[in-house]
Amino acid sequence: MSLSSRAVARIDLGAIERNCGRLPKPLCAVVKANGYGHGAVTAAQAALAGGAEWLAVATADEAAELRKAGIDARLLVMGALTAEELRTATGADADVVAWTEAVAEAAPRVHVKLDTGMGRLGTKDRELALRLAARPNTAGLMTHFATADEPGDDHFPAQLAAFREFLDEVGRDDLLVHAANSAAALRDPQSHFDMVRCGVAVYGLDPLQEDPETKGLEPALSLHSWVASLRRLEAGESAGYGRRWRAYEPTWLATVPIGYGDGWRRGLTNNADVLIRGRRHPLVGAVSMDNVTVALGPDTDVELGDEVVLIGRQGDERILAEEVARRLGTINYEVTTGLLPRVRREPVR
Ligand SMILES: Cc1ncc(COP(=O)(O)O)c(C=O)c1O
């Protein structure tokens, strides 16, 4: 397989479509932060093809970007907005989330957000939320769960109960009610209401940081680079900055042109595997800005130009974003979202 660039994230549109097909409907696909690193417009188009009816973003500029690309689906901007951003969101014909009188008055269509225990955005003030919910430009009611990805916890059912109580108090049946993120959508049908707001699962990433296959999800992103240089190190010779790894026997070493300048984080120093010719090989030495080094052992059939898979499948082996996340002490969301613009995104089918 030939590579168009030193580091490429292939985005499998079919996987996004099929993931959307497996999620509850109606579905709002969350494509904020460049579609969790997959490319916002690409992800949005694939999600819509897979049956999503709404798209959600965090910022007004993200909404404007989708409109500029010709996407005409319903849009929801979920983040806090400055007055200028509110004008941008309105200009993009997006609904916005409101928890203050000021935003509710200034925006044409709002979704009122009650903070039932996320403790971040939304209002905890029931009286205010009820007043906002009664306004004629209110189109939706929402909340957001803090612990939907912690099976068996008691905060999630408490949030759900508080939200239900609020819905009863509002007593309007003409509003679009939504609460569930991916974990909630997969965990509890009672959280679905009129729409689910799924992000991570759309991309085939597991909200519980397990193997997405166990939930019928297909990872959409794979990360590729190539063997750009090969050398043989003698025992005792080292690779990379700070000599963070030394060969204890004669060892072939591949240099792969991807580094923290691409979002392949330095925390993966001596702490990742890559796939070459369908086999796992350890990343050795420090991750530098533009390159990493990979140990191939005392003998190797690896050749210059061979494809290197850092996330994804090759032969019978695969490396999940969840594995990379575990090694970094983070979550899969951050691994894909953290891939920088220097990594070329390549939609494939
Ligand atoms: C308000 C809101 N709803 C839904 C989502 C989607 O969450 P997930 O990617 O876990 O499905 C997010 C993402 O963080 C969010 O902030």
10 Å Cβ neighbour count for 210? 11
For residue 201, give the ligand 1 atom closest to its CA: 11
Ligand 1 centroid, distance to 32 Cα (angstroms): 9
Which token pair is 331?
């979550």
**Ligand 1, atom 2: closest residue by C-alpha:** 144
Of 223, 287, 221, nearest to 255 by C-alpha is 287
Of 57, 51, 45, nearest to 25 by C-alpha is 51
Q: In whole angstroms, what is the distance from residue 208 CA to residue 148 CA?
A: 9
pLDDT in tens, 218-252: 999 999 999 999 999 999 999 999 999 999 999 99
Ligand 1 centroid, distance to 176 Cα (angstroms): 17
Ligand 1 centroid, distance to 242 Cα (angstroms): 40
Residue 16: phi and psi, rounded to 5, are: -60, -45
Ligand 1 centroid, distance to 348 Cα (angstroms): 25
Residue 2: per-residue pLDDT: 78
Which token pair is 181?
């993120």
Which token pair is 47?
């999600």
Residue numbers annotated as active site: 32, 241
Q: Which residues 6+ apart lie within 8 Å of 292 measured at CB? A: 255, 256, 258, 259, 264, 268, 274, 283, 285
For residue 36, give the ligand 1 atom closest to its CA: 9
For residue 200, give the ligand 1 atom closest to its CA: 9
Ligand 1 centroid, distance to 186 Cα (angstroms): 13
Residue in 22, 23, 27, 30 to alter for ligand 1 test, most ligand atoms within 8 A of Cβ: 30
The CB-side HSE value for 235 (13 A sphere, CA atoms) comes to: 2
Ranges of the chain with pLDDT below 50: none
Q: Which residues 6+ apart lie within 8 Å of 63 measured at CB? A: 57, 75, 77, 88, 89, 92, 94
**Ligand 1, atom 8: closest residue by C-alpha:** 199
Q: Which residues 6+ apart lie within 8 Å of 262 measured at CB? A: 7, 290, 339, 340, 342, 343
Pocket of ligand 1 (CB under 6 A): 30, 78, 144, 181-183, 197-201, 207
